[in-house]
Structure 1
């Protein structure tokens, strides 16, 4: 049986997720967000977009690790780019 290899890029990715969740919690308490519509065609708040973006980024990152033999940093960068797009325009 093979186990997942905890490489530095994978660890950085998951630590970043934790930092984002903590930061968004503080931000939401300090300045509650207002729902708006973006390209997702849903009325979403910052927290909604973060949740959807993190789910999407996690799936891209895991797919990259499972399917591609390329460097995991590229998968982490693609995940981050997707997350930023969803947070900004989603």
Structure 2
């Protein structure tokens, strides 16, 4: 009798993958995920408060997203077609104004 090391290593790899998927997909209550970037291949995921939806400047970005993508978002979540720098500046402004 002995332990089969390959099975243990395989189980560990499966758990690591499952944990990384859970971390990547976790969204706290009251928040939602958006994908930001001008390049279709490289978009960055941000988790932001739902309260941003009430802000006129954020609604402008949503209008741009609707014009470019309609309701078919290739990343599986809301995709915002602007530079990451512009989005971070907007988010900083919204944080400071609340």
Q: What TM-score do you get using the length of structure 2 for normalisation?
A: 0.26
The structure with more strand, counted as a fraction of residues: 2
Q: What TM-score do you get using the length of structure 1 for normalisation?
A: 0.27
Rg larger in structure: 2
